[in-house]
Amino acid sequence: MYLLSEARGLSRDLLGGKGFGLVEMAQAGLPVPPALIITTEACRRFLREGAVPGLWEEVRAKLAALEGLVGKRFGKGEGSTPPLLVSVRSGAPVSMPGMMDTILNLGLSSEGVESLARATGNPRFAWDAFRRLLSMYGEVVLGERAEVFEGMLSALKEKRGVQSDTELSPEDLEALSFQYLRHLQERGTPFPMDPWLQLQGAIEAVFRSWLNPRAKTYRRIYGIPEDLGTAVVVQAMVYGNLGEDSGTGVGFTRNPATGEKGLYGEYLRNAQGEDVVAGIRTPEPLSRLKEYAPELYREIERVAHLLERHFRDMQDFEFTVERGRLYLLQTRSGKRTAQAAVRIAVEMAEEGLISKEEAVLRVEANALPGLLKPTVDREKAPKPILRGLPASPGAAFGHAVFSNEAAERYTAQGLPTILVRPETTPEDITGMYLSKGILTARGGLTSHAAVVARGLGVPAVVGAEALRVVPEEGRAWVDGLEIQEGELLTLDGSTGEVYLGAVPLAEAAEEELLHKLLSWAEPHRSLGVRANADTPLDAQRARAFGAEGIGLCRTEHMFFQEERLPWVRRLILARTPEEEAEALERLFVFQKEDFKGILKAMDGLPVTVRLLDPPLHEFLPSLEELKVQAEAGDEEAKALWERAKALAEQNPMLGFRGIRLLLLRPGIFRMQLRALLEAAKELREEGFDPRPEVMVPLVADPKEVERAKALAEELFREYGPIPFGTMIETPRAALLASEIAPLVDFFSFGTNDLTQMAFGLSRDDAGKFLPQYVEEGLFPFDPTERLDEKGVGRLLRLAVQEGKRANPRLKVGLCGEHGGEARSVAFVADLLDYTSASPFRVLTARLAAAQAGL
Ligand code: ADP
Ligand code: MG
Ligand code: MG
């Protein structure tokens, strides 16, 4: 247990965040009311053993010292000297805003009130302080519900016909206090008039508040250890409710939404602590003080400046003004938006407050994609009609459409669309591509809709469970509200909110600052960063974000485009080698052009093309759809339906796909590889510098790789060789890395499938249980979002080590969704040669890789 002046240099773990901040502020010469801090160690002991030996003796001694510092006696007024009152405040080592309890004005009794009234000449204030103590103590220590006290207060206000409690008279407040006292008495939990007993009760209650259900839930959600305990701050009260020259407020040293430099905050005149947060009265912007209390405003500005200098970060501080004098009661590093984080970091480094390296470390890499996109202007927005998961950042509005066909129709007229689906399948790609936003009722953050939307950079909200979509009818419902085709919708993929109508959007952050930050980060990065890109447009975009090549170019997306699907379907239906050859010949022309576009956009940089991965039936309409068409007499549909039934699989994820398909239908393999090699050849003749690489998906055995390599070499003999690699995405391939590595030039870890197979869970179905799993703490995080270091990471490490031992020239990269997730990137930063992320996540990967190097 320490007075502020005795606690210099002690840790935040021991003093709690609040106590630590107070000690630091006092040390920096800022005006802080005297206080004593009971450490988290005492709390832990109390919770373990039910008592702390010697605790009360020590509190008494320190309290006496506190009395000496302020020249008042605890709970006892003497003549013109009012009694010393204290606040008893909780403060854990990590911030848990509002989760635990604080009591103000402690030490007051019915006698003390009289003396406080006399000494301050302000009976209204004295009774106001008492009734506040009674309700807070009644709630926190004696266990009465807050609503009971609030109810009595509202009833009184109503009776008097007033809005605000400042309009109540001293007599009103006195009567209210006695009403509270009587109520507590009748309830069998009388309020202790002895200040010392009050203090003991309050300290123990704050200790115990560590275990309240709210706090427990909060710790579980944010992964805060259970055994930290809370410190208790006992602090001399200062009063913001002494009149119009008093008040209380919250300030930020910079704007937490935009990062703009300058004091920002709110102030409430003639009020005590909690009133600002409680929203009982509307506070005024801090800047109003400039008009009626310019000196006070300048003083707060001066303090804000000192706080930043001392803590070297944007601070969020609480203060109280007692008769024109400023006191600081709390400070902490302020929460901020991604936009503000970038701005603050860059500007602080330019001001010389922090180093460039610190600036780089201050920005959460995962938040970067959200920066490049507009968001809904929440101040101007109506209430959202629906909430889902924020799957792909950015906000957009458009006309609701329920099919590819409708998306094309609206787009042809130059109208923006929002694609609304129960969930998406590869077949919806046209609609997804054309739309400004995507909304689904089902699916998680790694569902098809989410992954594709992020890849396309299209804002998306997925898994909006309250939404019911019936695409066949061109309608959807949210509760009773019907949404028809053409209805204007706005969605914000950064928050998961959906609005009716076209809602105003706020502009994206200034990219200049972001690029400056990244230019400071680059020298610290050794991990290569490539992009997952399937189109020339994506490739260009990725390159603009700094991608050093393409780590994954999925060729199946090229099969889904409108004019090609008929040929893909002929390929699937082909009964003779001639029929197959004809279909492949047509697809060859398309693919070659695609590859040329992408290789050109990435001229001089490596482009890794993955040969066909999904099972063939994914290119067919759904069985139900085909059945309807077939039964209506459509001959082609009939044939497709038969074929689709034959191809249907119970579990496509583990079915006839990837290398299995490529080896058993080698025509597809040859066509794709030839298209790639031919594209490169033509570009070289045109004076470009294409750098194609090819890889095969889903291998589980070296034999498969051997066979694929033999197929590839037939073409390499004709065109010259290019790097040949394999994906490592089955656990068996990882385990047999030493046998596979000598056959290839590189490994690319497909961590989406590798995670699915390592855990034995399908991410398309995981939405039903994974969120709950994480919530209940069975998994520390969602492994489809963030790489599981323990299991999947171990497979990675083993494959890299054994692979490199067997083939020292082996290059290793990662191309799953994890490749653009900051913590996963940090994990592979020293292990791999490169990571590959969707274009908008390239920035995240670059920053995270640099941070790992610092
Ligand atoms: P929280 O952890 O919820 O922020 P605090 O311990 O900061 O709780 O207390 C809430 C509010 O009570 C503070 O913002 C401050 O305005 C007020 N308060 C706390 N201690 C004092 C004090 N000694 N004098 C005046 N006001 C106080
Ligand atoms: Mg506070
Ligand atoms: Mg895969």
Residue 115: its pLDDT value, please? 94
Q: Is 448 known to be catalytic? A: yes
Q: Are residues 23 and 163 in the same domain?
A: yes
Please report whether residue 184 resides in a domain.
yes
Q: Are residues 73 and 50 in the same domain?
A: yes
Q: Are residues 100 and 112 in the same domain?
A: yes
Residue 466: its pLDDT value, please? 92
Residue 282: its pLDDT value, please? 67
Please report whether residue 577 resides in a domain.
yes
The enclosing H or E element of 200 equals helix 195-209
**Are the CB atoms for 826 and 786 separated by under 8 Å?**
no
Residue 281: its pLDDT value, please? 64
Q: Are residues 249 and 216 in the same domain?
A: no
Please report whether residue 619 resides in a domain.
no
Please give the Cα distance from 485 to 472 (Å, whole number).
11
From 32, 102, 268, 276, give the residue whose CB has the most ligand 1 atoms within 8 Å, as the site to mutate. 102
Residue 751: its pLDDT value, please? 97
Ligand 1 in reach of 105 Cβ (< 6 A):
no
Domain count, the chain: 4
230 is in which domain, residue-wise? 2-237
Q: Are residues 230 and 247 in the same domain?
A: no
The enclosing H or E element of 41 equals helix 40-49
Active-site residue, selected from the candidate residues 43, 399, 448, 557: 448
Please report whether residue 440 resides in a domain.
yes
**Are the CB atoms for 787 and 818 separated by under 8 Å?**
yes
Residue 274's CATH number: 3.30.470.20
Residue 280: its pLDDT value, please? 54
Ligand closest to Cα of 273 equals 1
- pLDDT, tens only, 642-682: 888 888 898 888 999 999 999 999 999 999 999 999 999 99
Please report whether residue 632 resides in a domain.
no
Active-site residue, selected from the candidate residues 43, 557, 617, 815: 815
- pLDDT, tens only, 733-761: 999 999 999 999 999 999 999 999 999 99
Task: Please report, rounded to a whole number, the percentage of residues in the chain having pLDDT higher than 90.
Answer: 73
Choose among 315, 305, 261: nearest CA to 513. Answer: 261
Residue 107's CATH number: 3.30.1490.20
Please give the Cα distance from 848 to 365 (Å, whole number).
6
Helix (H, G, I), strand (E, B) or coil at 807: coil
Q: Are residues 539 and 593 in the same domain?
A: yes
Q: Is the ipTM of this complex over 0.95?
A: no
Q: Are residues 137 and 226 in the same domain?
A: yes
- pLDDT, tens only, 809-853: 999 999 999 999 999 999 999 999 999 999 889 999 999 999 999
Please report whether residue 647 resides in a domain.
no
The widest CA-to-CA distance across the chain, in whole angstroms, is 110
Ligand 1 atom with least separation from CA of 86: 23
- pLDDT, tens only, 341-350: 999 999 999 9
The residue from 471, 506, 541 where one domain ends is: 506
Q: Are residues 194 and 73 in the same domain?
A: yes
- pLDDT, tens only, 364-398: 999 888 787 788 888 888 999 999 988 888 899 99
Residue 434's CATH number: 3.50.30.10
Please give the Cα distance from 635 to 73 (Å, whole number).
97
Least confident window among 305-309, 344-348, 506-510, 721-725? 506-510
Residue 37: its pLDDT value, please? 98
- pLDDT, tens only, 432-488: 989 999 999 987 776 788 878 877 778 999 989 899 999 999 999 999 899 999 999
For residues 347-377, one letter each, b for 16 or more C-beta atoms within 10 angstroms of the residue's C-beta and e for the rest, the string is: bbbeeebbebbbbbbbbebbbbbbbbbbbbe
Q: Are residues 185 and 330 in the same domain?
A: no
Ligand 1 in reach of 99 Cβ (< 6 A):
no
Ligand 1 in reach of 109 Cβ (< 6 A):
no
Q: How many CB atoms lie within 10 A of CB 422?
A: 15
Residue 185: its pLDDT value, please? 97
Q: Give the residue-averaged pLDDT of 628-632.
A: 89
Ligand 1 atom with least separation from CA of 33: 23
Please report whether residue 635 resides in a domain.
no
What residue's CA is closest to ligand 1, atom 12? 273
Q: Give the residue-averaged pLDDT of 588-603.
A: 96
**Are the CB atoms for 430 and 560 separated by under 8 Å?**
yes
Q: Are residues 447 and 540 in the same domain?
A: no
**Are the CB atoms for 74 and 63 separated by under 8 Å?**
yes
State the distance from the centre of ligand 2 to the C-alpha of 707, rounded, in angstroms. Answer: 67
Q: Is the pLDDT of residue 690 over 80?
A: yes
Please report whether residue 361 resides in a domain.
no
**Are the CB atoms for 715 and 674 separated by under 8 Å?**
yes
Residue 125: its pLDDT value, please? 93
Q: Is the pLDDT of residue 628 over 60?
A: yes
Please give the Cα distance from 400 to 435 (Å, whole number).
9
**Are the CB atoms for 37 and 15 separated by under 8 Å?**
yes
Q: Is the pLDDT of residue 167 over 60?
A: yes
Residue 278: its pLDDT value, please? 52
> Tokens at residue 355, please?
């180093």
Q: Are residues 603 and 739 in the same domain?
A: yes
Q: At 620, is the pLDDT very low, low, confident or very high (cuts 50, 70, 90)?
A: confident
Residue 792's CATH number: 3.20.20.60
Q: Are residues 270 and 382 in the same domain?
A: no
State the distance from the centre of ligand 2 to the C-alpha of 422, rounded, in angstroms. Answer: 44
Q: Is the pLDDT of residue 189 over 90?
A: yes
Q: Give the residue-averaged pLDDT of 108-132.
A: 94
- Bridge partners of 848? none
The residue from 336, 360, 385 where one domain ends is: 336
Rounded to the nearest integer, the mean pLDDT of the chain is 92
